[in-house]
Amino acid sequence: MKPKQRTKLFERLRDAIPAPSSELKYNSHYELLVAVVLSAQATDISVNRATKTLFPQANTPEAMIALGVKRLKGHIKAIGLYNSKAKHIIKLSQLLIERHQSKVPASRKELEALPGVGRKTANVILNTAFGKPTIAVDTHLFRVSNRTGLAPGKDVREVEDQLMKRVPDEFKMGAHHWLILHGRYTCTARKPRCRSCTIQELCQFQEKQINPNQGE
């Protein structure tokens, strides 16, 4: 995909969603961190359902530690890997108190030193909480980047590196949210909605379905 096409692609996505944002529900950097840790291999819907009851009881590191692992598990047991996630959340809460005055750090190194926080989670926090031009690559971004020809790559790190090189600077802040929403609702894994896609003619997906007889 050529530079002018990439610019046009993001202009289209921006026109469709002028102010993209996370679908996770949170009211602080700490709540966002907990929600993103919970979202690994889980849907935002399931995370929001869990945090709706969790956050009124524990929305600070101190309150989370007071809640304890057992009661935390009770709130998040419908989410995959809840046992390990509960342990990670309690431990990272302890480290936030000990090392960061109960605040979520704004550096990649310090974020990735927290239990349950890898590169993707750190990228989400840096972008969403601290306004840094990072791009977290999940399954949706990986699929969209490869399908469209925007930033092909064999693994998530290669796709991330390609996106950081290819996404025009003016769109880097919103790129993560635009692409994840596009992958979630339009460029879906099965039966992508090519006919209603705003970037249809820019997309290099060889199997795109634009004929009315091909489905949606």
Q: Which of 15, 73, 91, 138 is catalytic?
A: 138
Residue entry with tokens 């600077």: 169
Contacts of 58 (CB under 8 A, 6+ apart): 64, 66, 67, 72
CA angle, residues 28, 34, 132, in degrees to nearest 5: 60
Asked whether the beta carbons of 143 and 189 are under 8 A apart, the reply is yes
Of 28, 40, 23, nearest in space to 86 by CA:
40
Contact 177, 20 (CB under 8 A): yes
Identify the CA nearest to 142 among candidates 112, 180, 172: 180
**In the annotation, is 161 catalytic?**
no
CA distance 198 to 11: 10
**One of 8, 25, 85, 120 is an active-site residue; which one?**
120
Rounded-to-integer distance, Cα 9 and Cα 201, Å: 10
Spatial CB neighbours of 31, under 8 Å, sequence gap ≥ 6: 51, 55, 59
- Say whether 169 is catalytic: no
Go through 145-164 and write b for each residue having 16 or more CB atoms within 10 A of its CB, e for each that does not: bbbbbbbebeebeebbebbe
| Contact predicate 123/136, CB 8 Å | yes
Catalytic site residues?
A: 120, 138
